[in-house]
Amino acid sequence: MRKTIQTLEGAVFVAGKGKKCANSECEYFGQHYLAGGVLKYSLPKSTYGLDVLAFIGWQHEQEHQQLVEIQRSLNQRGIEINESNVGKLYRQFLALLGGTMAHTQKKLAATAHEHGGLIWAIDALQPEGHGTLLYVVYEVLSGIAVSGIQLPQAQAQGLIEWLQPYQELPYKVLATLSDGEKSIIAAS
């Protein structure tokens, strides 16, 4: 996967190469694994950074700005986006905050069946100039963003409560990836 992502800090080119398990002794020999690191920057099939997504959500939810106002603000920052895409990203923001939906559950079940479990990745980002954090949890093998939550600060208890439904899913957890933030480690 290769793409240029528009972030609040400017355009970033990201590339990731999936790999197949080459160990013939492994029960997952030949299985294809996606490059999960790319998901730290944007949602799959999106050319806007997660920081832009968080900015849109914050501006609409907390600052009560209309989508056209958010579009103008992003355009002034050098981000090429129209009102329609601001609305699309806002809906993605809401979906992340809303948690797991039925089609996501089906995708998780299929991934767990195919790979023998799930690999979770948890990342946090902070919209520019705001104290609130947006945490996003992904399933790496399928490449889907599963959920998101806004918290006023890094706090393990809030993360524990948010992650509990995903820990209770009936699938083996093969690994949990994070950037090493203490509250994420304590919660996972």
Handedness of CA 38, 131, 151, 185 (dihedral sign): positive
- Could you tell me the two tokens for 15? 């590339």
Q: Do β-strands 2-7 and 133-139 pair in parallel, antiparallel, or remain unpaired? A: unpaired
If you average pLDDT over residues 17-42, what whole number do you get?
A: 78
Predicted confidence (pLDDT) per residue in 107-166, tens digit: 899 999 999 999 988 887 766 655 677 788 888 888 777 887 777 766 778 788 888 888
Query: Which residue is it, tokens 């990342």?
Result: 123
Task: Read off the pLDDT of each residue in 163-186 and give the average, rounded to a whole number.
Answer: 81
The pLDDT value given to residue 30 = 82
- CA dist 60 to 28, 33, 50, 55, Å? 44, 36, 15, 9
For 2, 93, 135, 145, the CA distances from 54, given in Å and listed in that order, are 22, 7, 10, 14
Q: Are 118 and 108 in contact (CB under 8 A)?
A: yes
Question: Under DSSP, is residue 130 helix (H, G, I), strand (E, B) or coil?
Answer: coil
What count of residues does the chain have? Answer: 188
